[in-house]
């Protein structure tokens, strides 16, 4: 299982806590190299799309 606190959620490389920030949408750590890139935006889109897989909203 991944350690989400010590790896960038985009490139999955080990993070230096001094050079790490959080993605504000997913609240996951992201390295300086990936922050603001198209790859980060794609991962956010993919992760949020996967949140709804298998769930049906009953409020409609």
pLDDT score recorded for residue 47 = 85
pLDDT score recorded for residue 58 = 62
Per DSSP, 4 falls in state T
CB 55 within 8 A of CB 46: no
pLDDT score recorded for residue 29 = 93
- Terminal-residue alpha carbon distance, the chain: 35
pLDDT score recorded for residue 59 = 66
State the 10-residue block means of pLDDT for the chain, 60 residues long: 73 88 91 94 87 64
CA distance 51 to 54: 8
- State the Cα torsion 20-21-23-24 to the nearest 10°: 160
């Amino acid at each position: 299982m991944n350690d989400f606190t010590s790896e960038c959620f985009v490139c999955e490389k080990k993070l230096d806590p001094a050079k790490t920030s959080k993605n504000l949408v997913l609240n996951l750590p992201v390295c300086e190299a990936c922050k603001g890139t198209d790859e980060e935006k794609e991962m956010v889109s993919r992760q949020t799309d996967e949140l709804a897989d298998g769930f049906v909203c009953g409020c409609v």
